[in-house]
Structure 1
Amino acid sequence: MDHSQLLRVLIALALGMLIGLQRGWHERNSRVGGRIAGIRTFGLLAVAGALTGVLHPLLGPGIGIAIGLGITLLLGLAHWLDSSEDHDFGLTTVMAGVVTYLLGSITLLGDLNLAVAIAVMTTVILHFKQTLHRILEHLSDSEIRGILQLALISAVLLPVLPNRSYGPWNALNPYEIWLLVVLMAGISLTAYFAMRLTGPDKGVLITSLLGGLASSTALTLSLARMNTQLPLPRLLASGILLAAAIMYPRILLEVAVINPGLLAALWPPMLAMTLGCAASAFWCWRHKEPFGRIDTAQLATRPFQLLPALQFGALLILIMLIAHGIQAKMGEQGLWLVAIVAGLTDVDAITLTLARMAQDSITADTAVTGITLAAITNTLIKGALALFAGHWSLCRPLWTGLALAILLALLTLSLT
């Protein structure tokens, strides 16, 4: 007896019974004999799939296809008879049965770990039917469009892009560039839904905390404009400072994904800026003005859209070309000028660019200094935006906190 085959058949039985357990629980109130398939049937479906794997060397792949078609027809017939009685035309149980049969085949012929993972995912999807339906009921057309667009640029476009360098100085890798676009789009869409779930009435600070994940600069502009309507400068300044404090850990997260080797040198200045902004935000919050109910609906970011993602990709390409060109003409120190200029508009693109370049073309010190300079520049821009869109009363508490963060970053950078 082949004990390894017996073990795999038993695993197939367990996986089928796991799916059947959920199906049986879901239809537990049905009359006896009224269910299409329960825990025993699903277990046997998985064993049938496993047996096709046992018979495959003797009878060839046709045996698995023939049995699979027969099982599908039987499940379809049972579903037709059942639906004619209770008028429930859902195909979930039929599809779950087909998946269970295929899982049984995978346990004998394929990757056992893959079979276990698929079985667990299938059970989870089946069990959370009501939760998924409630989510769908509350999603708007723009939100569905955003999810589909993110799926399009990640699951469809990303795998077909070439993973090699092109262009001047071999600076452009289509796969890596688009991967960074997907990364940023995913962060933004996640932040949007996080804000949507918390609701617009949770307060300026919660909105700022979540808005900092998407764009602390955009949130700064929104809060600065709000200050012209609501005389709450210290409260709004605390929100801007908190959003800025989120930006620096976000930079560390992006670097950790692209080039974790930079974290040891980068975390001290980023931590210093985070602590400076967070401490100033706390002081402003403790000394905030009395206020009533504040409507923060206008601060919610929009779901992901394709055009902003393409704009970010174009900006990323431009910065990559400029960065590699300046490096070729001026050496590594010329990249610091690029970092300062890039920080005026977007700190993420230059962060991702320098982190990638530090893998093969520049030193870690150059990359860390450039990323820190971009963060400092972007921090200064927040103060300028507050003055431009807000009021001088907002700038006094805000500038104090931003100045403290920049001072701590420069001090930390000089000591490392």
Structure 2
Amino acid sequence: MQTYQYIQELVGPYILGVLISLGIGLIIGLEREYDRLKEKGFAGIRTFPIVAILGFSVGNLTDFFSNWFVIIGFGSFILFLAFQHFVKKKEECGQGLTTNLALIATFVLGVMVSVDYYKEAVATAVIIVTLLSLKTRFRSVISNITSEELFAFIKFSIIALLILPFLPNKTFDSEGLLNPFEIGSIIVIVSFLNFIGYFLVKFVGSKRGIILTAILGGLISSTAVAWNYASRSKESPALSKKYSAGIIVASAIMFPRLAFLSYIFNNAILKELAIPFSLLTMICIIATLLLMRKDDNKPDTDIKLGNPLNVLNAISFGAVYVIILFAVFYSNQFFGENGLFYSALIAGLADTDAITISMAKFSLEGEKLKLASSVIIAATISNMLVKLLITLLKGSKTAGKLVAYAFACVIVLGVAYIFISRG
């Protein structure tokens, strides 16, 4: 802000506003001019700066006239664009309304500059030009979206925007555990993370190598990666080392993913998880690097991770979360700290997200942070044992042995941390 004040003193407030408006117009106009090389249009690198300066000038004149001057000027500008659109030939105006909307937005940004919203106007211009420049990429992505994925997005939107806001935000049980809005929020957050992970795999990871696919697949389900890669290691024993590396690195992603998930619900617990999760992640990464040192093979790497949003699965996750929530509550009441570890070991067999969220919320009081972090680590150990068992049963002997070495180090270190933190 001091830079703006210095320049304002140097050239004056009006010239500064003109220069900023000019810059905004050039940012958007440059993209539109480039687009005109491929598709015909009527506005480019000269028109947009003029429109931005026009909006700034109209906004400035309200001090001498009234606020109606901006409204009238804005309305007149829209009418002018409409007149141009209908009078000129379609080939001269371009095929769509994007340029017209961009011109209207540029006029508004000029008005924003006139009321000293400098940074906001520039930031908005950058967002607009980013959207305009990604047209080809958007079309490419949309052309590759299946009807199942489109319906999954619609279902997610319905759950997140239409159902969740209307759920009652109050508890319905004596223990204060059953809050429909909180449970719904957790389902939406976890579904959103899975949704993002699914499309990262689809548009970035597929056919890009075992490791990259495994990393992105780990954002959704490291267990699914283990199941898939273990089977492939048995089909192609020569590639067992590479598929083992994929299973290990997908499991490595579990730790930062759970750390982020716990941070969402209780940011204080991240301090307790940072060191053990970093060490466990590092072990997996080192094991992966050792296995991938001399990788010249490029096998098929597609992973079938199912529907991006299965409503039944989402509801099932909510049910599992509620069950674990009650299990944690009553285990702590009847069996103390040991009961929490029993719950974690059982929950980790199926899913680590639910127990992580429940323990993050359980430790909101502060003094239970160390206990909660130990319970979360116990759940990850249980989950690692499940993936190891999958690899041993479904994978080749080599894959089972290599994954066993890496996971054994993780499990031993995790158990040691739990005993040290409790001692």
Q: TM-score range by the shorter chain?
A: 0.7 to 0.9
What do residues 320-343 of structure 1 show as CA deviations (whole Å, max 9, x unaligned)? 343334445555553322222211
Which of the numbers 117, 121, 145 marks the counterpart of 2:123? 117
The answer to which structure, 1 or 2, has the higher relative contact order (CA under 8 A, 6+ apart) is 1
Within the alignment, does 1:18 sit opposite 2:22 as a pair?
A: no
Q: Secondary structure at the match of 2:359?
A: helix
Q: Distance in 2 between matches of 1:411 and 1:77?
A: 75
What do residues 52-103 of structure 1 show as CA deviations (whole Å, max 9, x unaligned)? 5446577665544333222112112212333434483311111111112222
Q: Secondary structure at the match of 1:170?
A: coil
Which of the numbers 335, 341, 349 marks the counterpart of 1:336? 341
Question: Can you give the 5+ residue segments of structure 1 that lack an aligned partner in the other structure?
Answer: none
| 2:72 aligned residue | 66
| 1:192 aligned residue | 198
Q: 1:286 to 1:128 in 2, by over 3 A?
A: closer
| 1:265 aligned residue | 272
Q: Secondary structure at the match of 2:95?
A: coil
Q: Is the 8 A contact 1:269 1:413 kept in 2?
A: no
| 1:310 aligned residue | 315
Instruction: Map residues 83-98 of structure 1 onto 2, 5 A cutoff.
Output: 83-86=89-92, 88-98=94-104
Which of the numbers 196, 208, 220 marks the counterpart of 2:226? 220
Which of the numbers 273, 277, 283 marks the counterpart of 2:284? 277
Within the alignment, does 1:27 sit opposite 2:42 as a pair?
A: no
| 1:415 aligned residue | 420
Q: 1:235 to 1:364 in 2, by over 3 A?
A: same
> TM-score, normalization: structure 1?
0.82
Question: Can you give the 5+ residue segments of structure 2 that lack an aligned partner in the other structure?
Answer: 1-8
Greater shift in the superposed pair: 367-376 or 270-279: 270-279
2:187 alignment partner AA: V
Identity rate, percent: 27
Q: 1:173 to 1:13 in 2, by over 3 A?
A: farther
Within the alignment, does 1:41 sit opposite 2:47 as a pair?
A: yes
Within the alignment, does 1:295 sit opposite 2:300 as a pair?
A: yes
Within the alignment, does 1:102 sit opposite 2:108 as a pair?
A: yes
Q: Distance in 2 between matches of 1:73 and 1:119?
A: 23
1:244 alignment partner AA: S
Superposition CA RMSD, Å: 3.7
1:275 alignment partner AA: M
Instruction: Map residues 3-14 of structure 1 onto 2, 5 A cutoff.
Output: 7-8=16-17, 11-14=20-23
| 2:135 aligned residue | 129
2:88 alignment partner AA: D
Q: Distance in 1 between matches of 2:27 and 2:213?
A: 41
Which of the numbers 167, 170, 173 marks the counterpart of 2:172? 167
Q: 1:303 to 1:62 in 2, by over 3 A?
A: farther
Q: Distance in 2 between matches of 1:5 and 1:157?
A: 46
